[in-house]
Amino acid sequence: MSAASPAASVARRAMRDARVRTISFAYLFGAIAYIQPAAYRHAYPTPSSRVAFAHSFANNKAIRLFYGVPRDLLTVGGYTAWRVGGTLAIIAAVFGLLAAVRALRTEEDAGRMELLLAGVVGRGTAYLSALAAVAACVLIIALAEFAGLLLGGLPAGACAYLAVATASIVPVFVGVGAIASQLAPSRRMALELGGAAVAVFLLLRVIADTSSGAGWLRWATPLGWAEELRPFTGARPLVLLLPAAASVVLLVAAARIAAGRDIGTGVLPARDAGEPRLHLLSSATAQALRSERGSLIVWLTSVGAFACIIGVIARSASSAGISKSLQREFAKLGSGSITTPSGYLALVFIFFVLAVSLFACVQIGGAAAEESGQRLETLLALPLGRRRWLGGRLLLAAVASVALSLAAGLLSWAGAESAGVSISLPRMLEAGANCLPVALLFLGIAALAYAVVPRASAGIAYGLVTVAFLWNLSGSLLGAPKWLVELTPFAHVGLVPAQPFRAPAAVIMLALAGLTSVSALWAFARRDLSGV
């Protein structure tokens, strides 16, 4: 260690810091890359089943929303490029943004960058070291995707090209995150700016992929470039020049801004003073709502916007040309029938179940941050009981989850209505409410994890939600026994509005949610607060 150059030490520390995030994303990339080709082979073994599948999907705009435009659905490679490439491009963008903001703004926000620059490390070196660490993490993730595809039985050269196509997105969004980190004076604002950029680019891709005549818009978004690289379907490696050029431009621009500003500030002014605003300070729960307000609005807007788009697109779900046997295959995907608007909405709402579950975990993460930031010590030294504090946070999370779920139902209904699809509002609100049993169950589990092992709780909560969701998608496709597939709560969600609401399963999940929440309150009142 002592012999290493300062730059190498900085990069190594940044990598250590990012190891949990890198490992989680690598696992996600590897798992998705392996599951898709394996599942396709399993579900569509014969050329005729593939032709039928391709026919039904070729014009289904509803499906393109998540995965982009399919180029070739008759080969394992073509299908994989579409499903894996389309999804992972979005996840890669998120990874790039998180990595950049963590390395370039959070460090500075926490004052650690100041410490570093006071030593022998110069600004340029610190910046390049941080980028080198991110590059190493990207390499690990791309290798995980490559290995997953290879295990899925695809040719090595094409696998490598698809992995490169996905990875090429990351530096662009590292650039976006780097710019956001220079503009925003705080970590939170940097993430909000970067998140908005990801959302806009995703929206551009959705429009390009779903509206006729708007295909050219794909060239305007990095997420579209990944599609235009066309892995497995007539590769166009020259397109790689686009992400390469964009990354260089963004990163150089960020470096120039970084060189010209004071440490600890951003280009945008921070609103650091003002007349007191005394609303939402009457209790710890009210103040929690006050500090989470911004993030709640972001969640509500993005889930609402997404629900609205989905409602509009539901119109294009139709049964034209889909055989009965193929529809049975869809049933295996756990998606009901995507041949009707309500079937399509039911399929998509399983993603809202996931979103609301993740939201619940985020809320517990907010509570845990009060403790790790040692503000909880100040709160609990006041006449405020522990159960009351955690109970308030749980209540807030539950109420916000209800709002989020109902917003998804309401806005997808509004979207469908505006596109001329007739669907019942109560039924769509029911579809929204149907997200709640699973989400509240994960809220309880996350709270219990926090109460017992505060430091590991985030990993446990997000890990369980992700594994449970992927297992629901892939378990039945991989032919796992029924009881094993049914271990995940997601398997017990009735696909409302296509299927009836499954009351018994919901009651059991809600009971478990109650049990875990009560256990969490009990356990939390019995442990030491974690402190330095």
First to last CA, the chain: 26
Contact between 532 and other proteins per CB under 8 A:
yes
- Which of 379, 460, 505, 508 binds other proteins (CB under 8 A)? It is 379
> In the complex with other proteins, which residue's Cβ is closer, 237 or 264?
264
Contact between 118 and other proteins per CB under 8 A:
no
> In the complex with other proteins, which residue's Cβ is closer, 482 or 526?
526
* Residue range at the interface with other proteins (CB under 8 A); choices 150-158, 233-241, 282-290, 310-318: 282-290
Contact between 381 and other proteins per CB under 8 A:
yes
* Residue range at the interface with other proteins (CB under 8 A); choices 17-25, 218-226, 278-286, 409-417: 278-286
* Residue range at the interface with other proteins (CB under 8 A); choices 17-25, 129-137, 219-227, 284-292: 284-292
Contact between 283 and other proteins per CB under 8 A:
yes
* Residue range at the interface with other proteins (CB under 8 A); choices 143-151, 267-275, 392-400, 424-432: 267-275
Contact between 531 and other proteins per CB under 8 A:
yes
C-alpha 458/C-alpha 461 separation (Å) is 5
- Which of 122, 156, 377, 479 binds other proteins (CB under 8 A)? It is 377
- Which of 287, 302, 327, 519 binds other proteins (CB under 8 A)? It is 287
Contact between 262 and other proteins per CB under 8 A:
no
Structure tokens at 475: 């378990």
Contact between 296 and other proteins per CB under 8 A:
no
> In the complex with other proteins, which residue's Cβ is closer, 257 or 380?
380
Contact between 291 and other proteins per CB under 8 A:
yes
> In the complex with other proteins, which residue's Cβ is closer, 46 or 378?
378
> In the complex with other proteins, which residue's Cβ is closer, 48 or 265?
265
* Residue range at the interface with other proteins (CB under 8 A); choices 73-81, 94-102, 383-391, 513-521: 383-391
Report the length, in residues, of the chain: 532
> 156: closest CA among 84, 77, 228, 78?
77
> Is the Cβ–Cβ distance between 250 and 175 less than 8 Å?
yes
Radius of gyration of the chain, Cα coordinates, nearest whole angstrom: 24
Here's the x/- map for other proteins, 510-529, by CB under 8 A: it reads as: ----------------xxxx
The type of residue at 460 is: I
At residue 233, the 3 state secondary structure works out as coil
Q: How far is the CB of 263 from other proteins (least distance, A)?
A: 15
Contact between 380 and other proteins per CB under 8 A:
yes
* Residue range at the interface with other proteins (CB under 8 A); choices 35-43, 125-133, 331-339, 369-377: 369-377
> 150: closest CA among 33, 28, 24, 22?
33
- Which of 214, 245, 267, 281 binds other proteins (CB under 8 A)? It is 281
* Residue range at the interface with other proteins (CB under 8 A); choices 67-75, 370-378, 450-458, 504-512: 370-378
C-alpha 413/C-alpha 429 separation (Å) is 8
Q: Provide the 10 A C-beta neighbour count for residue 512.
A: 16
C-alpha 272/C-alpha 281 separation (Å) is 19
* Residue range at the interface with other proteins (CB under 8 A); choices 71-79, 225-233, 298-306, 382-390: 382-390
Q: Which residues contact 258 (CB under 8 A, 6 or more apart)?
A: 104, 123, 127, 182
Number of residues this chain uses to bind other proteins (CB under 8 A) = 34
Structure tokens at 510: 């809600």
- Which of 48, 211, 325, 374 binds other proteins (CB under 8 A)? It is 374
Contact between 1 and other proteins per CB under 8 A:
no
Q: Concatenated DSSP letters for 464-513? A: HHHHHHHHHHHHTTTT--HHHHTTSGGGG---TTTS---HHHHHHHHHHH
> 263: closest CA among 131, 110, 132?
110
Alpha helices in 333-435 (DSSP H): 341-372, 375-380, 386-418, 425-433
Interface residues for other proteins in 178-207 (CB under 8 A)?
A: 186
The torsion angle over the Cα atoms of residues 435, 98, 102 and 267, rounded to 10 degrees, is: -110
> In the complex with other proteins, which residue's Cβ is closer, 111 or 500?
111
Contact between 277 and other proteins per CB under 8 A:
yes
> Is the Cβ–Cβ distance between 449 and 457 less than 8 Å?
yes
Q: Which residues contact 100 (CB under 8 A, 6 or more apart)?
A: 134, 173, 174, 175, 176, 177, 178, 180, 181, 194
> Taking the mean position of all CA atoms in its chain, how far away is CA 108?
25
Label residue 499 exposed, middle or buried (CB < 10 Å: 0-12, 13-18, 19+).
Answer: middle
- Report the interface residues with other proteins, using CB under 8 A: 186, 270-278, 281-284, 287, 291, 373-375, 377-385, 526-529, 531-532
